[in-house]
Amino acid sequence: SSGINAEWPLRPGGRIGIIVAHRMQAFGMKTVGYDPFVSASSAAEMGVEFLQLEEMWPICDFLTIHVPLLPSTKHMLNSSVFEKCKKGVRIVNCARGGIIDEDALLENLNSGKVACAALDVFEKEPPAADSPLLQHSNLIATPHLGASTAEAQTRVAKEIAEQFLALRDGKSTFGCLNAPLLRGALSE
């Protein structure tokens, strides 16, 4: 079986989810995803079948997570969700620590419900060296290095500069939470 991979988010601002979906499709995986800001037709244009989260859990062989840590996403993957997942699901979280309830993940790794997990983010960073989760033979743990490449640093610098120019010119900015305050400071 080529497997089913679930991705979220899928919106253009969620660039990583889209990139991962395309890579998984290259390996013959059917990709399904969820994003509250993307329509089923937009997802289909990316080759992703749009599903609600509750529809994804029982069918996915792989779950990759691409969400920010917000009150609504804290412990998004928890005991209740793991119960709904297919036995042997594999989980990758390179987004933010806290999205996965680590106690529930450990319990489900121990039971075999979760076959394996790969994490480069943890609720408490750095995680304790004697953490039972870190010691689990079916966990791959790496340091959180996603933005540590020269390319990522260049892209971030360019995006920040573009946002300042947009603010200066009175245009909208994506992801800038304090835009009104910055506009005022730039106009002084």
- What is the set of active-site residues? 96, 125, 144
The structure tokens 């943890």 sit at 122
Q: Are strands 48-50 and 114-119 parallel, antiparallel or unpaired?
A: unpaired
Provide the 10 A C-beta neighbour count for residue 10. 25
Q: Tokens representing 168?
A: 């200066």
Angle value at C-alpha 139, between 136 and 144, nearest 5 degrees: 125
Q: Are strands 62-65 and 4-7 parallel, antiparallel or unpaired?
A: parallel
Q: Residue 50 in contact with residue 39, Cβ under 8 Å?
A: yes
